[in-house]
Structure 1
Amino acid sequence: MTVKRKTSPKKPLRPEQPWFVMSAAQQYSLIPSDNPVISHFYRFTVDHDASMTYAVPDGCIDILFDCDPDNPSALVCGTTLEARAADMNCDHPYFGVRFAPGVIPDFLDISAEELTNHEINLFDVVPKGRLAFERIVQAQDLSQQMAIFNQYFTPGITRKPSTLTAQAIGMICQQNGNLRIEELETLTGYTCRTIQRQFRQDTGLSPKAFCRAIRCQSALNSIHHADGLSFSDMALDLGFSDQSHFLREFKKLVNTTPLDYQRRIGGNIWGERLRFH
């Protein structure tokens, strides 16, 4: 079993929610952010025939606006730990902001650990966010929504992590999540206990859970862009003990097998849905 690559150079990891893209009616629009603490902004309308949509681990926080004119709402979504059903309304337009892996927005009145694996009403954690919310849901264009978000939320946008956590996040992402806590001890010079405590305090995740999310995202990226790479080679590259281990883990995190996922995005469906601006 092989996976076909669209481009040969290795691309930087962009945290993805593939079932959001596959649930989109016609297009899933995306604008990368110039601000390094934000991965990208996105907009899509859920197809009226869309089946259950799942969120997958990405190590990120999303702010997701349901821009339905009759019943708008907004949620702050922490990363999931395994594939989890995402409750979305068919035919509703959505606008989202996906922060970079490990980043906690400073304007959220909540701890990092309280966000993990949870969805929370925006106004419960951003009491002064109603004006921005109203303007965002009324805007009809992704660029306008992005500009409004940046206007209201960019100043003081990130809760600065400790130097240790920032260093660990960089190493984990560089290694595609294939990094053990013992290696972090050696690379950082800190003990396992210190790394675990500080990392969880800053991100709401253990280093192991964060590595798991990044490996999940790296696997998705590999399937989208890999050229002639077998699933056994992919498993080896990502640090799994064998192909069976990789297949079991992928099924837990993405809610399908790598082969079935490859088939679902085949026929250029993935490329036709994504629209970069």
Structure 2
Amino acid sequence: MKEFESLKRYYRPIQPTVKAEDTGIVYLEVQPTREIEHFVYCFWQLKTSQPLKYDYHYRVVSDGCIDIFFDHRQLAESFVMGFCRKYTEFPIGKEFNYIGIRFLPAAFPLLFKIDAKILANQAQELKNILPDFADWIQASISSSYPFEVVTEMLNEKISIYLEKQEFYYDSRFLNALQLILKKKGHLDTEKELNTGLSPRQLRRIFNYYIGTTAKSFSNVVRFQYILNAQPTSQSLKENKLYLDVGFFDQAHFIKNFKTFYGVTPSEAFR
């Protein structure tokens, strides 16, 4: 699907890596095969290598994506998490092994014909959204399979979905999405998205494919741009990278960052 090649070129939706002090926890990412790389950003695994003393609180930051994930030890427990306007944090116990698929923005609704708006700001059981996919995970994947084998199976499964699909989408939406990504979210979505869509059409189509408005999505793209730059707390003070993507001042940036990450930039990048 050449139409979607630019999505991965211009956007890298990342989550925080496990901190050095979080001993006993492993986070891995594996790239998809070429056949599905314009729809899937990565496959990921978050697991314990040894039992923890306390419940681990996992923080998911806003990345504009939709994820399917499941407990590799309890394969009946699979979920889908939609676009999130703010960070989410929840306890996942002292031992865990989660495997997930991070879809690029708009890819999940395109692939599965599911309205992203009904998934937004929450995690739902996969069996209520894609029952066939949930059944396949439980029936086909074994808890004894290593992560590498599971990713191969997931690659093949999604490739089959791609082969069976006929894609119908509004090219004006894709043009708007590409423009937001190219501009790193720094644009006036009411004035600069001159793609032929009325404000009402733009809102409707972004809600369907992303799960939120073009403006809210652009704010997440700006936030992700800062994460991708991998600044230090000191470099942010000196270079003021946040001014390059339209934040008015440091206070505006800090408030926005904390909404999407859960902590201030100085805490995140120390």
Contact 2:55–2:93 (8 Å) recurs in 1: no
Aligned to 2:268: 261
Corresponding residue number in structure 2 for 1:269: none
Q: Structure 1: any 5+ residue segments left out of the alignment?
A: 1-10, 264-277
**Counterpart for residue 173 of structure 1:** 181
Aligned to 2:108, which of 87, 104, 110? 104
Gaps of 5+ in 2: 1-8
Residue pairs, 1:241-252, within 5 angstroms: 241-252=248-259
Q: Which residue of 2 aligns with 1:271?
A: none
Identity %: 25
Name the Cα RMSD after superposition.
Answer: 2.8
CA drift of 1:119 comes to: 0.9
Aligned pairs for 1:50-199 within 5 A = 51-69=56-74, 72-106=76-110, 108=112, 110-129=114-133, 130-157=135-162, 161-186=169-194, 188-199=195-206
**In 1, Cα distance between equivalents of 2:91 and 2:82:** 14
Count of equivalent residues: 250
How far off is 1:88 after superposition? 2.2
Tell whether the 8 Å contact from 1:25 to 1:44 is kept in structure 2 after alignment: no
- 1:165–1:198 CA contact under 8 A, matched in 2: yes
Deviation larger for 40-49 or 155-164? 155-164
How far 1:135 moved relative to its partner? 2.9
Q: Matches of 1:91 and 1:105 in 2, distance apart?
A: 32
SS of 2:98's partner is strand
TM-score normalized by the length of structure 1: 0.79
Q: Secondary structure in 2 aligned to 1:138?
A: coil
Distance in 2 between residues matched to 1:195 and 1:105, nearest whole Å = 16
Residue 268 of structure 1 corresponds to which residue in structure 2?
none
TM-score (norm 2): 0.81
CA contact (8 A) 2:233 2:269 kept: no
CA contact (8 A) 1:60 1:101 kept: yes
Letter in 2 for 1:31: V
**Could you tell me how far apart the structure 1 residues matched to 2:117 and 2:266 are?**
34
How far did 1:231 drift? 6.4
